Structure 1
Amino acid sequence: MNAALIWSNLPQLLAGAWVTLQLVALSGLLGIAIAVPTAIARVAGPAWLRWLPYSYIFFFRGTPLLVQIFLVYYGLSQFDAVRQSVLWPVLGQAYWCAIIAFSLNTGAYTAEILRGAIQGVPHGEVEAARSLGMSGSLLYRRVILPRAFRLALPAYTNELILMLKGSALASTITLLDITGAARTIIAVTYTPVEIFLAAGVLYLILSFVIIQGFRWLERRLNAHLHARLA
């Protein structure tokens, strides 16, 4: 094991870790923005409209993430209308294509997590809110969604970890994330064991930070439950 080699290439791997963090953070935020209205439409939308969010979720949960990345990165560039549109400066870059693919993918999974959480909100709490005159958007904003977010946190933490590991596929479209940086170093040094081991440790560290961060958030949001158990 050549520790000096790992140490000398650590700055490049850390730069890749920063790219990975950006991919996961931006995709996670955009995914939540997609997931909330999608989950609400799945639960409370009119029957004739529910097929739209269902089709979106079915497609992105039923196809591999790698295929979705290729469809966005290679597929959209095949259309002249896309290349000549104002969106081409964004869609022509691998970074933003990866963000779009990851956001759509995690948005579908998160929507299903939220749908289950919304349906898991105790009926008594909803009825109590309605008895106070809440209905429609106010009911969702004040009662259902805050409660659903608390219920969904453990499952959403797992989704973020899966997205962190799935972000390694960004290297297939030339992005230098952790995996992309590792492959670049290995192409020069021919030392896959040392470099991939270092990359794996970085993924473990990021996973640990995410898990601990969401555990703290879960304890903070559900402090009343922990106090009751104590």
Structure 2
Amino acid sequence: MAHPHRLVMLALALAGLAAIIHYMDWSWLPAYLPKLWNGLLMTLAMLGSSVVVGFVFALPLGLAQVTGPRILRWLATGFCTVIRGTPLLLQLWLFYYGLGSLFAQFPEIRDSWAWAYLRQAWPYGFIALTISFAAYQGEVMRGAFAGVPRGELEAARAFGMSRWLVFRRVWFPRSVFRALPTLTGEIILQLKSTPLVATITVTDLYAIVTRARQETFLTYEPLLLLAAIYICLSGILVIAMRWLENRVPTGR
């Protein structure tokens, strides 16, 4: 049975939404829908690719800090510390304006097949977002790997499992399960970081909304639409990750 205060909050939210739709100017929206769709696809592409590739890099970063040789521990810790200690916007500009300008000075690069991609902005946005996610998630995986009880790993070794088999069947699944709640939060933060790529001319959702504001001289309507889209995306991500959490075996 629904609580009365929740019904009141829902009614107020619906009333506010109806007022926004009725009293604000949405005549500009049909003309911008194709551009908004393309911007949404770019945002999702940046988010999905950086999360997947970043998580792949986060695994060795976390593992190196737990079991690696001292030099690898220092390198992994130093990498995570530097990336987490500097703003993502600064990293984006360093890659785009710094590394991109450096590539342009070499004729070998300008004349190669790679220049068709390196002259664009999105590869640098992807690199910066991926490195940032890898550094943050690498710290999460370090804690997850270290948090698995040593008794479980020793018991698996006692059954005659090799180190790789122990990692694949015990250590890695248990660590991922422990990291899933935090991983959900990191993905949401990554989603909210993607608008920064608009500062290096990547045409994502935020860039399209900014262009709509400048061309229509409207402020609230485009920004409220952008907020609603990000809220919906965040909700979908939370639901998907909760579904995944319920289907990953706990190992207990």
TM more than 0.5: yes
Could you say what the CA RMSD is over the residues aligned between the two structures, in angstroms? 1.8
Equivalent position SS for 2:72: coil
Structure 2 residue aligned with 1:197: 224
C-alpha contact (below 8 Å) 1:6/1:194 kept by paired residues: no
1:15 to 38, 43, 48: 38
Letter of the structure 1 residue corresponding to residue 86 of structure 2: T
Equivalent position SS for 2:229: helix
Equivalent position SS for 1:39: helix
1:156-195 → structure 2 map (5 Å cutoff) = 156-195=183-222
Equivalent position SS for 1:175: coil
Offset of residue 186 of structure 1: 1.1
Structure 1 residue aligned with 2:28: 5
Offset of residue 8 of structure 1: 4.0
1:210-229 → structure 2 map (5 Å cutoff) = 210-222=237-249
Distance (whole Å) between structure 1 residues aligned to residue 63 and residue 195 of structure 2:
31
Offset of residue 88 of structure 1: 3.8
CA deviations 1:25-53 (Å, max 9, x no partner) are 00011101111111111111011321111
Equivalent position SS for 1:105: helix
C-alpha contact (below 8 Å) 1:118/1:148 kept by paired residues: yes
CA deviations 1:166-188 (Å, max 9, x no partner) are 00101101111111010111111
2:60 to 37, 40, 53: 37
Q: 1:144 to 1:151 in 2, by over 3 A?
A: same
Offset of residue 124 of structure 1: 2.3
More deviation, 79-88/168-177: 79-88
Distance (whole Å) between structure 1 residues aligned to residue 65 and residue 250 of structure 2:
30
More deviation, 128-137/167-176: 128-137
Letter of the structure 2 residue corresponding to residue 84 of structure 1: E
More deviation, 75-84/125-134: 75-84
Distance (whole Å) between structure 2 residues aligned to residue 83 and residue 21 of structure 1:
34
The total of aligned residue pairs comes to: 225
More deviation, 137-146/111-120: 137-146
Q: 1:186 to 1:84 in 2, by over 3 A?
A: farther
Q: 1:38 to 1:164 in 2, by over 3 A?
A: same
CA deviations 1:44-71 (Å, max 9, x no partner) are 1011321111111011100000001001
C-alpha contact (below 8 Å) 2:174/2:250 kept by paired residues: no
Offset of residue 190 of structure 1: 0.8
Distance (whole Å) between structure 2 residues aligned to residue 82 and residue 112 of structure 1:
36
Equivalent position SS for 2:160: coil
C-alpha contact (below 8 Å) 1:42/1:54 kept by paired residues: yes
Q: 1:83 to 1:40 in 2, by over 3 A?
A: farther
Equivalent position SS for 1:79: helix
More deviation, 16-25/6-15: 6-15
Offset of residue 138 of structure 1: 2.5
Structure 2 residue aligned with 1:228: none
Q: Does 1:63 align with 2:63?
A: no
Q: 1:95 to 1:76 in 2, by over 3 A?
A: same
Between structure 1 and structure 2, the one with the greater Rg is 2
More deviation, 13-22/188-197: 13-22
Structure 2 residue aligned with 1:112: 139
Could you state the TM-score of these two structures normalised by the residue count of structure 1? 0.91
1:151 to 178, 181, 200: 178
Letter of the structure 2 residue corresponding to residue 209 of structure 1: I
